Each structure stands twice: as structure tokens, then as C-alpha cells.
């Protein structure tokens, strides 16, 4: 049997990159998956890649109403929610703090941090109501552990995700709800292409910043999220797990 056999799992940001790889992997491990994103075309691709196993829905995680709706839809579709991978995120503008705008700050924090807060709150409410154990994994970043330059809103929002993860882990451990974060290093996705301005030199620098001297594949993050969602990590909660080719270690 798969590691998530019979589990009902919500995945956000599932139209591409890490979330798409995760939705397909979780379905292959036996989960009933609801894949959510703003991008309907990408969701169609996710459903196809899963051989029709993954259900999809469009939603904006930064909206309280839509985030609540996602958890309701998961329960409507599968009768319950056992797990969630809160992964939707945006990179925002590139530039120093003194040049940055409030609009960009609010947009990035609104999706990356408030979006995780809203989804996680609704997931925890549903799990508490059901009185069953659950597991939640949030996508933070190496940028949620260490600083870096020229993306202050992103850094702040990802440190915020780590904080939300630790707080909820401690609050609900006794209820059997585990909450952890994955902290990806540089992963080959649309986001990394955008961040590096599609410059091969910048991508090379990213790759060089890891100890392994290579970029990560979306599936390598999905595998870590799978482990954190599964019972294989039954004594793990409140961690921010770097999956970064030894970037932080190096």
C-alpha cells in the first residue's frame, strides 16, 4: 500500500512546480487529492499527469472565503480531510527595501503568509471537529531560515510561515495534529526562472550556492512533504526541514 493510502489531502499551488509534483506523488501513494490553484490550465495538466486521479479546483488562498471553501470542498469530495500541503506562493518584486512598495509587501505577505494561515486554520478547525489525527505541511523556504538580499517581503513572509508552523505544532500536538514546514533550496520551477530573470549565469550561481552544486527537482521537495505527511514521521512536529542540497550546511 502507498504511504498515504486512503488519506484525503489538499494541495495548494498545485498547477505547476513543487505543488504539481506533490499532487501527483501523493495520488500515486494512495491519497485522494484535491489540487487547488489560481491557474486552471496548469491544474488540467496536473490532473492529466496523475492519470485522472487528482481532482482540481481553482481558488485564491489569500481570500478567507476561498480558503475556507477549499477545506469544505475537500470534505465534500472525500468525506474528510486528513492532510494538507499548503504550498501556494509568489516571489514578488526584486529590489532593496528602500526601493520596495507597500503594495508588493502586502501582496507577497497576503499570499505566502496570510494564505498559509487561512488554509491552516481551516484545516485545523476541520481536523479538531472530526477528532481524528492529521498532518499539515507548509512550504516555507531556505529564505524562511536565513536572510538574503533584494526580496524583503518574500523573506519576511517565509520566516512567517516557519513561525506559524511552530506555533500550530505546539498548540495541537496533543490532539494528534502534526504541523511541519519544508524549506526548499533552489528548485527548477517557473518561480526560479522568474527570480533569476531567465539568466543562465544567475541559475548557475544558484546551483553553485548549494553544496551539491546542482538545482533541485520539484519531486525532491514533494518526497520530503510526503514523508512529513505520512506516518513515517510520526514523532516529528514543528520542524522547518531544509531540502536544499546542503545550501545551509555549506
Query: Between 113 and 233, whose beta carbon lies closer to ligand NAD?
Result: 113
Closest contact distance (angstroms) between CB of 21 and ligand NAD is 8
Which of the stretches 11-19, 46-54, 95-103, 121-129 binds ligand NAD when contact is defined by CB under 6 A?
11-19
Burial environment of residue 139 by CB neighbours within 10 A (0 to 12, 13 to 18, 19 or more): buried
Active site residue 154: yes
Q: Is 88 in the site for ligand NAD (CB under 6 A)?
A: yes
User: Is the separation of the CB atoms in 61 and 115 below 8 Å?
Assistant: yes
Q: Is 120 in the site for ligand NAD (CB under 6 A)?
A: no
Q: Is 89 in the site for ligand NAD (CB under 6 A)?
A: yes
Query: Between 8 and 145, whose beta carbon lies closer to ligand NAD?
Result: 145
User: Is the separation of the CB atoms in 187 and 223 below 8 Å?
Assistant: no
Separation of alpha carbons 81 and 91, rounded Å: 29
- Given 50, 57, 74, 87, the residue binding ligand NAD (CB under 6 A): 87
User: Is the separation of the CB atoms in 51 and 33 below 8 Å?
Assistant: no
Query: 3-class SS at 118?
Result: helix
**9: which strand partners?**
33, 83
Chain residues binding ligand NAD by CB under 6 A are: 12-13, 15-19, 37-39, 42, 60-62, 87-90, 111, 115, 139, 141, 184, 186-187, 189-192
Which positions are catalytic?
Answer: 154
Amino acid at each position: 500500500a502507498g504511504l498515504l493510502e486512503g488519506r484525503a489531502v489538499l494541495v495548494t499551488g498545485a498547477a505547476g512546480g513543487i505543488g504539481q509534483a506533490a499532487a501527483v506523488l501523493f495520488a500515486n501513494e494512495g491519497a485522494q487529492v484535491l489540487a487547488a490553484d489560481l491557474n486552471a490550465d496548469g491544474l488540467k495538466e496536473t490532473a492529466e499527469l496523475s492519470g485522472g486521479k487528482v481532482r482540481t479546483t481553482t481558488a485564491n488562498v489569500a481570500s478567507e472565503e476561498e480558503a475556507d471553501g477549499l477545506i469544505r470542498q475537500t470534505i465534500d469530495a472525500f468525506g474528510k480531510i486528513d492532510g494538507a500541503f499548503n504550498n501556494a506562493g509568489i516571489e514578488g518584486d526584486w529590489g532593496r527595501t528602500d526601493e520596495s512598495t507597500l503594495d508588493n509587501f502586502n501582496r507577497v505577505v497576503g499570499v505566502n503568509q496570510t494564505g498559509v494561515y487561512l488554509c491552516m486554520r481551516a484545516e485545523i478547525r476541520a481536523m479538531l471537529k472530526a477528532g481524528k489525527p492529521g498532518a499539515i505541511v507548509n512550504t516555507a523556504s531556505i529564505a524562511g531560515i536565513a536572510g538574503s538580499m533584494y526580496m524583503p517581503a518574500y523573506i519576511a513572509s517565509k520566516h512567517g510561515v516557519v513561525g506559524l508552523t511552530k506555533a500550530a505544532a505546539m498548540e495541537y500536538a496533543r490532539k494528534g495534529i502534526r504541523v511541519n514546514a519544508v524549506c526548499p533550496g533552489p528548485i527548477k520551477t517557473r518561480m526560479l526562472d522568474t527570480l533569476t530573470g531567465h539568466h543562465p549565469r544567475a541559475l548557475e550561481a544558484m546551483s553553485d550556492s548549494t553544496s551539491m552544486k546542482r538545482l533541485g527537482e520539484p519531486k525532491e521537495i514533494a518526497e520530503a512533504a510526503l514523508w512529513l505527511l505520512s506516518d513515517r514521521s510520526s514523532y516529528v512536529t514543528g520542524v522547518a526541514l531544509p531540502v536544499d542540497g546542503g545550501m545551509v550546511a555549506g
